[in-house]
Structures are given as C-alpha cells and as structure tokens.
Amino acid sequence: MTPPAGPIGVIGAGAVGQTVAACLMAGAWCQEVRVASGSARSAAALVADLEDMQQVLGSPGGVGASTPDGMANCAAVVVCPRARFTNTATSDVRMAGLTANAPVLAQLARALAGYAGAVIVVTNPVDVMTRLFTEVSGCQRVYGIGSNTDTARYRLALARFLDVPVDTVAYCPETRGASHSLRRCRVGRCQLVVSGCGAG
C-alpha cells in the first residue's frame, strides 16, 4: 500500500471544504488534515467533526486547525473559500463569484507566496481564480479543477443525448462559461463537432 502523503491543508470550511476534508480523512490519504477558514469558529467546528469521524473510522491521520501561513510544509493545499455574497445570476452562475471571491483568493495567494507544494483551486470561477492565484503567489504547481469537472459533465450530457455509454465519448477540450462550444469530440470511432453547448 502506498504510504499516505504528508499534511494536506484545506482552506475553506464551507460545503466544499467539508467534503474534501472528510474524503481525506475517510480515505486515509494523508498524515494530517489542516483546516483554515475565514472564521476560526467554522474551522474549529469542522475539526471537531473530523475528530469524530477519525474515532468512528479508526483513521490513522491527524487533524487540526491552522492558518494559511501554517501550511508551508503541507504536501498540498486545497483552496476552496467562498466570500459572502448572494448569487442572483440565472446564467453563467459560476462567474457571479468573481468580484466577491477575487480579493479573498488574492489575499490567500500572498499568504502562500513561494509555497512549493501543489495547490488545488476549487473556488469559482475556477479558471480565473486559478490564474489569479498563480500570478499573485508565484507558486509553480497550481491546478484548477474546473476544466476536468466540466469535461466530465459534457461527456455525460453528450452520452445521454446520443444514447451511448459515457466511456465511448473522448475528452473534449473546453473552457468554462456559458458561451463555450465543444469541438472535435470523439464518440467511438466517429469524430463530431458539437457547438453551442453552454456550461449552464
């Protein structure tokens, strides 16, 4: 069995942060889960839940509250905070968080400037936030989950529309956003051009 990674940081204790931290703990992916949040209270609450999970599952890893500054020696950091705002958008809903989330990501990027581990950005709009974090932090290993997630959604939607197994639909390069078009998708041995498919 592959030994678990070193500590992994999770920044953001909302729904996404809770899910990521719980998966890390349940799957014994790392030696320790470190949780940071804009609210010390929400970080402490998530840590308490993870400690309960640790006891129930007998997970070997540790868990504790931290700050972004305290994650310098983590093997990876998952960045998933969400600023307080009401999303009233009816289309291109992921872009609605740009104005609110950008200052939060920039502040975190400055706190993690020069960090040598992998940074996984989850905060929406993911592609923009990933670029912002990379440019402000100077970190060399910054990844956004957006393209992979949307590709999976598009593959599933196309497979349902064509009534074929999803594993016959090949990877479709794309960019997130409602104006996006899929191009040169491969379904089995056939190559298709599908246009006008929005992220929704």
Contacts of 58 (CB under 8 A, 6+ apart): none
Q: Is residue 2 assigned to a domain?
A: no
Q: Is residue 75 assigned to a domain?
A: yes
88 and 17: one domain? yes
pLDDT tens per residue, range 53-68 = 999 988 888 999 999 9
Q: Which domain holds residue 117?
A: 8-144
Q: Which two tokens stand for residue 131?
A: 């670029």
Q: Is residue 12 assigned to a domain?
A: yes
Q: Which two tokens stand for residue 93?
A: 């809903």
36 and 95: one domain? yes
In the predicted model, is pLDDT for residue 197 greater than 50? no
Q: Is residue 72 assigned to a domain?
A: yes
What gap in Å lies between CA 43 and CA 34, rounded to an integer?
Answer: 9
Contacts of 106 (CB under 8 A, 6+ apart): 132, 133, 136
In the predicted model, is pLDDT for residue 180 greater than 50? no
Q: What is the CATH number of the domain that holds 100?
A: 3.40.50.720
161 and 138: one domain? no
Query: pTM for the whole thing?
Result: 0.74
* pLDDT value of residue 91: 66
* pLDDT value of residue 199: 41
**What is residue 142's three-state secondary structure?**
strand
* pLDDT value of residue 188: 77
Q: How many domains does the chain have?
A: 2
Q: Is residue 197 assigned to a domain?
A: no
pLDDT tens per residue, range 13-23 = 999 999 999 99
75 and 156: one domain? no
119 and 163: one domain? no
* pLDDT value of residue 140: 94
Least trusted range by pLDDT, from 4-18, 20-34, 45-59, 163-177? 163-177
Q: Which residues of 21-49 are buried (b: 16+ CB within 10 A; e: fewer)?
A: bbebbeebbbbbbbbbbbeeebbebbbeb
* pLDDT value of residue 120: 96
Please give the residue that has the higher pLDDT: either 28 or 8: 8
At residue 147 the predicted structure's pLDDT band, cuts being 50, 70 and 90, is low
Residue 116: how many other CB atoms lie within 10 Å: 11
